[in-house]
Amino acid sequence: MIRKRAGWRRPIDGVLLYAGLTLVSVILVAPILWLVSASFMTRADITETPIHLIPPEWRPQNYLDIFRGGANLGRYFANSLFVTSSVVVLNVLFCSLTGYSLAKFRFPGRALIFTGIMATIMVPFNVIVVPLFLIMRQFGWIDTYQALILPYAMSAFGIFLMRQFIVGIPDDYIAAARVDGASEPRIFVQIILPLARPAITTLAILTFVQNWDEFLWPLVVVNSDEHRTLPIGLAKFLGQYENQWHLLMAGSVVAALPVVMLFLVMQRRFLESLSGLSGIKG
């Protein structure tokens, strides 16, 4: 009897598990599906009650309107793409170099430097916004691409990630390259970077997603349409007396597309990177 009851429980447990996962999936995906649906509605249809799940009148013109006239979303999209791509490249370069030096070189104060870098993770970005703005003003970089890119050119998390991974690379590879007469830059480019590809991929993806959605710093340091990024541009659709919800929804879909495409293209490599990172040493 006990065996029979256990045999009946397994299918029931499986059904309950899949039912729970399906419910959670619906809850997570429903707002995204409604966002896409609302991007094809008129402003009146979006604000009506009860809520329309499917547009009563399909309006694909919303996607055309956000790229013409005063919306200027195309310029903001290009700015975000340029700034985010630059930040990713600089993070991969500087974090890899710093992580390599902290992992494989012996010099006085190395542990203290690493501890100081890790301590900066505990400082919220909101705390340093004003001092950082004053520094940018001293350099004359207010409302420039430099001000949008350079403060994010290196991150403590990126240094930690690269250092922890590179520590696990055997020293014998580096010693053999030095015996063969390879220079340090060559060792870094031809040995360290290829072996650290899982960490580099993870760092690049996380950096892209984080900086693509950045709102506070561009809002503080940029004051012209020439350098505005996409999150700031979307805020233009929210006015003091009138909100253009239909354009905001269409713009939000466009803003989400690069992140979604990045995930679809890189999901296999990202999962491989995570499995490769599972063996990093402390």
| Contact by Cβ (8 Å): 280, 95 | no
Task: Give residue 80's pLDDT.
Answer: 95
- pLDDT at residue 12, as a whole number: 72
Given this model, what pLDDT does residue 89 score? Answer: 96
C-beta of residue 163 within 8 angstroms of C-beta of residue 199: no
pLDDT at 68: 77
pLDDT tens sequence for the chain (282 residues): 445 555 555 677 777 888 888 889 888 888 889 999 999 999 888 888 888 888 988 998 999 888 876 667 889 999 999 999 999 999 999 999 999 999 999 989 999 999 999 999 988 888 999 999 999 999 999 999 999 999 999 999 999 999 999 998 899 999 999 999 989 899 999 999 999 988 898 899 999 999 998 999 999 999 888 899 999 988 888 775 578 888 899 999 999 999 888 888 877 776 666 665 554 444
pLDDT value at residue 52: 85
Determine the pLDDT at residue 8.
52
pLDDT of residue 265: 82
| Tokens 């390599």 found at | 100
CA distance 164 to 242: 51
pLDDT number for residue 138: 95
pLDDT of residue 262: 85
